[in-house]
Structure 1
Amino acid sequence: MAPSMKEIIKKISELPTPDFILKRIMDIASNPSSNTKELEGAVLQSPPLVAKILKLSNSAYYALPRKITKVSQAINILGFKTVRNLALGIFVADSFFRREFDFLDSKKFWQHSIAVAIASEQLAQIINYPDKEEIFLSGMLHDLGKMVMGIITPETVEMILNVAEYKKVSFSKAEDMLNVMTHQTLGKILFENWNLAENVIYTAEFHDTPEKLQIDSFSMNVYIVHLANMAINSIYYGYSGCYDIPVPSDVVWNKFDMTSKKFLNYLNNLEKKLSESNDFINLDAFIEGSEEDSEEENKDG
């Protein structure tokens, strides 16, 4: 017997949710009138988070000219929203992707998710979309509904993955064939529970079906993540439970005036960027902060 909508919503509400420190970081980062001191104060409440944020700030991904040793430097150089993204990313990686499943590889799923975040940010740069940090966040969280499904109805995910691999289709196509509640819906419910921004909620809900999105103000967000997701699925075949040849939605392709040449160029640059982003793509490297950074910060603080 498949669980009812009510049971599913109850199970989702019992999943890990951002604690007060993370909520505070998210509130400060999204408030245009807040200052560095406030955000620094919130991050410093959690020494383990300090160590992890400092380590990731010094990742080759950001290619900064000098080492960041203080939270205030990370905020000033990388920006409020990037620090928020790292904090939320650490929480999600730790709470959802550390779990072991018999039928899906959490580390590969993480690799897919963070790679889509990176690919989304790269694409935003190419098309001159200004809000790169929001795009990164939406990309990183777009598929969290699959992990939610793995936790609350593992047998459903197992079926979907079997069908996807056997029929050589995408995860969402297999969901349709089996007529189950989709990972897009589960992601949407989860992020509504967390009070995340609408752009994140809509991207979770429509990244595989961008042509169904009726709201213009979020279309760019959804479209960028959709195309980035296609790109990553062609690089990491099968990692997200998609076994088809990824074909982007016409709506998205035309919106970006994309050509095969432009897209191949984007893919080549993306592979290079991914090869420099191992601290992000490797789940263990992403989650673990280095101890001396935390001690240094406490000493300086």
Structure 2
Amino acid sequence: MSGVLLSRDPAQLEVSLRDLHLPFQPQVLSAVLGLRDDTRMDFIELDRLIRADQNIASIILKMANSSFYSRGQEIRTLPQAIGMIGFRTIVSIVAAASAKSIFMSGNYARFRRYVWQHSLVTSIIAKIICEQLHWKNLTEEVFIGGLLHDIGKVILNHLDREKYIEVFNKTFETSKPFREAERELFGVDNGVVGQMVIKIWNLPTVYREVAVFIHRPADAALSHLPEKDQQIIRIVGLANQIAKANEFGFFEANSSVTTSDFFAALGILPGSALESINWNEAIEKDPYYQVFSFIG
């Protein structure tokens, strides 16, 4: 689709996006995200889905045998790995492996650094925020929300790589937001495209909401969403800001939203545990970063 200009009409946009051919099977991710961890049948189904993708299976075994998880015990089989790492963490690993396969289709260093690495680091920071503030019931969802929050950039880049390089150039030269440059060149921005493809892929609604509201922590429209979804969106938004502030991603100087806005929206008070974290050190030690980060 060279030279593509996407329609702003939702129905026409959806038709265009349904015709995409990506190196990715969204039905696998959708199926995994729909599993629970309290039935033997879902345990068996998770094992089956993982076995269907050799890349994901090898990544899970690699994670299971890392120093972070293995505690010196050699893990040789997927059921062992699932038991060692934990069902919900396996789901996050599958999401990360699936996301990387899509993001890597960008296949140039600047895209990998400012889109894939930024998305991965955002998900890791979001996970750490939940661990530090004892919101562990949200850890998996914020992690996946972080991975997918820029998926619209991947789709736009896939549609017209040369034009997306122009988006990078405009953003880097003027510090204008990516979404503004995308609207100029494609007719729509990554947030609109992201929420649409997440809908098409039949992924949970909250990830569409993250794509829409990630830069708008105080938007009045958020009040109409479930309280849990509001919190997930704001945690991913805060993680996005922290990632950029630590040079994992491009910090748009013209952005009107700040880290303080997210702290206020989340009710995080001064002196919280987050303020003492060395983010670069925490990210580099994280097993997800060690396995999935690649910008070459």
Interval of TM-score (by shorter of Structure 1 and Structure 2): 0.7 to 0.9
Listed as ranges, the gaps of 5+ residues in structure 1 are 286-301
Q: What residue identity is the alignment partner of 2:93?
A: L
Secondary structure at the counterpart of residue 106 of structure 2: coil
Alpha-carbon contact 2:129-2:274 (below 8 Å) kept: no
State the distance in 2 between where 1:250 and 1:257 align.
10
CA RMSD of aligned residues (A): 3.2
User: What is the deviation of 1:81?
Assistant: 2.5
Q: 1:44 aligns with which of 41, 51, 56?
A: 51
Question: How far is the alpha carbon of 1:230 from its aligned partner?
Answer: 0.2
1:265 aligns with 2:271: no
CA contact (8 A) 2:106 2:157 kept: no
2:15 match: 10
Deviation at 1:75, TM superposition (A): 1.8
Q: How does 1:98-247 map to 2 (within 5 A)?
A: 98-101=105-108, 104-129=110-135, 130-154=137-161, 156-172=163-179, 174-175=181-182, 180-212=187-219, 213=222, 214-217=224-227, 218-236=229-247, 239=249, 241-244=250-253, 247=257
Local SS of the residue matching 2:71: coil
- Deviation per CA, 1:147-171: give whole Å up to 9, x if none: 1111124455334323322222432
The one-character-per-residue Cα deviations of 1:229-256 (angstroms, maximum 9, x if unpaired) are 000001125x3x4432874266522133
Which residue of the partner structure matches residue 293 of structure 1? none
Return the alpha-carbon distance in structure 2 between the equivalents of residues 22 and 136 of structure 1.
14
Q: Distance in 2 between matches of 1:20 and 1:184?
A: 21
How far is the alpha carbon of 1:266 from its aligned partner?
A: 5.0
Alignment match of 1:255 (pick from 231, 254, 265): 265
TM-fit CA distance, 1:26? 3.4
- Cα distance in 2 for partners of 1:54, 1:97 equals 21
Question: 1:107, 1:282 within 8 Å by CA — same for their partners in 2?
Answer: no
Q: What SS does structure 2 have at the residue aligned with 1:98?
A: helix
CA distance in 2, matches of 1:9, 1:249: 33
Structure 2 partner of 1:70 = 77
Residue 128 of structure 1 aligns to a residue in which SS?
A: coil
Per-residue deviation, 1:190: 0.9
TM-score normalised over the length of structure 1: 0.78
Q: By how many angstroms is 1:12 displaced?
A: 2.1
Instruction: Give the gaps of 5 or more residues in structure 2.
Output: none
- 1:211–1:249 contact (8 Å) kept in structure 2: no
Aligned residue for 1:53?
A: 60
Identity of aligned residues (%): 19
Report if the CA contact (8 A) 1:121-1:136 is conserved.
Answer: yes
Structure 1 residue 117 displacement after superposition: 0.6
Q: Is the 8 A contact 1:12 1:190 kept in 2?
A: yes
Paired residues for 1:87-106 under 5 Å:
87-101=94-108, 104-106=110-112
Tell me the SS of whatever aligns to 1:147.
Answer: helix
Give the TM-score normalised by the residue count of structure 2.
Answer: 0.79
How far did residue 22 of structure 1 move?
Answer: 4.6
Pairwise CA distance, 1:72: 1.5
Contact kept? 1:110, 1:281, Cα under 8 Å: no
